Structure 1
């Protein structure tokens, strides 16, 4: 068997050929070949046989790839060939794979995925996409590793929930990249968020305001619009988003009824209004001016930004409550607008109102088989329950003691 020669070339020969400028093709042995074109382009080529066919793959340019480096690269390719891997196929796969930047990936994610999500999710994901774009937008997607993902999370001083949202967005965009085969696997795989930001803090428990606290709230020193809004929230148990976005055309004061359209937070429903609540809505109606919203925006810039009409901002009532507590120091625990729903639910149960009626007053879907087959709206029962609840908070407002009146469910 003939001896296979190798390491036939020297650095001196290579430099001489490059200076000479003539086209050459010289073998270093084992299929490694130095080629120099007439135009002066010098490259390393590995020639081999696989599957009965002669093939070749370019390893790199000379002098960027030295003679020693070319021999090492050729050796690795030969080992791969023995394992049945075709180096030429691997090169073609790399060329076919999109070499996107993270910014390009984010733009594609916005066009194809973000637009399909709920409005609130689009907002929260959108601000975190901006964070990622500012931090690693210029990086090649294929070069992003787990350490880069961890660094992106750590460089922001965020609360736990917002950091978790950032983590969800990172997983989302790189899952999108893997789905498009821009990368083989997501760099987020194997990362444990708890190791980066710790365990989630204990979720704050909802509180129930006492009779005395309800009395203080009903007489709070707030501007008229804020006070009426808080009273409506307490008396109806609606979600704050439902009141903030309520349109005047959906409030039928002559029928003592408020229609809430279907939304992602709950199904559509008609809320019966107690007489006191009707009066509060009438006052809000007078304050609304020409706006189509029950609670119009208070800043001209918000009107201008939202085509001439807009509802009050989502933080207005929460900030009004905090301002009242911080500046007037009432003897009341700090609470959020959502706590008014738990307050109504808890007190309704104390008033003897059945659990299913209480849940339906809060527009909660009944669970299990009952929720599937019982499609009755219980409007009369809810009206009776909400009127009883309104009378209760009126006694709290007056500082009087409630005389227990058992709740009687209508037939």
Structure 2
């Protein structure tokens, strides 16, 4: 008949006195506590290795830090592992290694690795993303081990742009948080899942806000302000170029002479300079240049310092900042809260739609993707139609410029 071991009690363990040699007090099922000569009381679990069947033991910790109930819980966890053919010692070592690895990978460490892996993102775009990470995510999350990032911790960081009503910064912060956590899951394999994947559901959807703009019939006043402002000539040309070509601010400032075919009247913007979407990736954008745009190009050439249309000797990039036109319109022309550089595109779009130009043609002039089922099946580039549309727009812009300067002209008898 097998010998039955009487389970231990806390009182028995507490009253156990040290002897000249270490001795065990058995709790049963392989669990015992070793009473050391120096008075230390150490939990041990005795078991047979799954493969070799050799008897061995593993330390569970020290009493009273590990109490009797917790020691029994660990014993049962190890017995379940043994029933599955898993050595508890190997399991414990692996767990400690994974924990140490996760502790070494802070959110900031993983974010830097994510940044280094983003070779497919344009440098300027990545720079903007990184500024958002530094401004909104790092102040709270930077030093947290990646495996400790939970929704309640991440929400502390996301609350900042949300409470400040910075809708775009909030959305991008959520997107970047999830991109970094997903990188830790699927590229580094250091956390099993992304706990913040649905954190956006903790918030009421913030309003995106309209990009401020003016109506087409307000352009004469705009040109009056532009003509009589103290802005430098290159900035005035930048604003006019962006207006005539309907491009985004960053696409305007990165324009190079090498991308323009004056004979054919075409500006071909390489794909790496375009705003990247899933549908337009690796696609260049072709802009037919109106007579007014080509005339402006001739004036711009007189200020040429390098290969860029809008050069800057102070910038490492060699060209003006994407915010140059925006700042000029806001501060130099007095349109704060009324018009942004990006809003110039909306003026052109409004005019062309009201002039009866096909909506698909207008969207392609703006380098937008045609949405819906038509966008899937209609792959027409409408280049002749776009040339007509942009020339119509150029004629209207010129008309507005003439209206602006007319009152200032002196008629000589």
> Which TM class, normalised by the smaller chain length?
0.7 to 0.9
Q: In structure 2, how many angstroms separate the alpha carbons of the residues matched to 1:121 and 1:363?
A: 17
- In the other structure, the counterpart of 2:388 is 384
2:171 is the counterpart of 1:167: no
Q: Give the length in aligned residue pairs.
A: 375
RMSD over aligned CA atoms reads 3.7
- In the other structure, the counterpart of 1:268 is 284
1:101 aligned to which of 101, 105, 127? 105
Closer/same/farther in 2, CA of residues 45 and 152 from structure 1, 3 Å limit: farther
Pairwise mapping of residues 210-359 of structure 1 onto structure 2 (< 5 A)? 210-211=216-217, 213-219=218-224, 220=226, 221-222=228-229, 223=231, 224-253=233-262, 255-263=264-272, 264-265=274-275, 267-288=283-304, 290-297=305-312, 300=314, 302=315, 305-306=316-317, 310-326=318-334, 334-359=338-363
Closer/same/farther in 2, CA of residues 44 and 93 from structure 1, 3 Å limit: same
- Give the alignment's TM-score, normalised by structure 1: 0.76
- The Cα shift of 1:215 comes to 0.8
Tell me if structure 1 keeps the 8 A contact 2:255–2:269. yes
Closer/same/farther in 2, CA of residues 39 and 127 from structure 1, 3 Å limit: farther
- The Cα shift of 1:322 comes to 0.5
- In the other structure, the counterpart of 2:410 is none
1:28 counterpart SS class: strand
1:199 aligned to which of 202, 205, 210? 205
User: What is the CA deviation profile of residues 99-125 of structure 1, one whole-angstrom value per residue up to 9, with x for unaligned ones?
Assistant: 33314433433344x344444552243
Closer/same/farther in 2, CA of residues 250 and 190 from structure 1, 3 Å limit: closer
Q: In structure 2, how many angstroms separate the alpha carbons of the residues matched to 1:146 and 1:164?
A: 16
1:287 counterpart SS class: coil
- In the other structure, the counterpart of 1:45 is 44
- Give the alignment's TM-score, normalised by structure 2: 0.75
Q: In structure 2, how many angstroms separate the alpha carbons of the residues matched to 1:178 and 1:259?
A: 39
- In the other structure, the counterpart of 2:8 is 7
- The Cα shift of 1:79 comes to 4.1
- The Cα shift of 1:81 comes to 5.6
- The Cα shift of 1:399 comes to 2.8
Tell me if structure 1 keeps the 8 A contact 2:114–2:180. yes
Closer/same/farther in 2, CA of residues 78 and 130 from structure 1, 3 Å limit: same
Unaligned runs of 5+ in 2: 405-413
Q: In structure 2, how many angstroms separate the alpha carbons of the residues matched to 1:397 and 1:58?
A: 85
- The Cα shift of 1:72 comes to 1.9
2:293 counterpart SS class: helix
2:58 counterpart SS class: strand
Q: In structure 1, how many angstroms separate the alpha carbons of the residues matched to 2:337 and 2:61?
A: 71
1:138 aligned to which of 133, 143, 149? 143
Tell me if structure 2 keeps the 8 A contact 1:7–1:29. yes
- In the other structure, the counterpart of 1:398 is 402
1:216 counterpart SS class: helix
- In the other structure, the counterpart of 1:408 is none
Q: In structure 2, how many angstroms separate the alpha carbons of the residues matched to 1:375 and 1:187?
A: 40
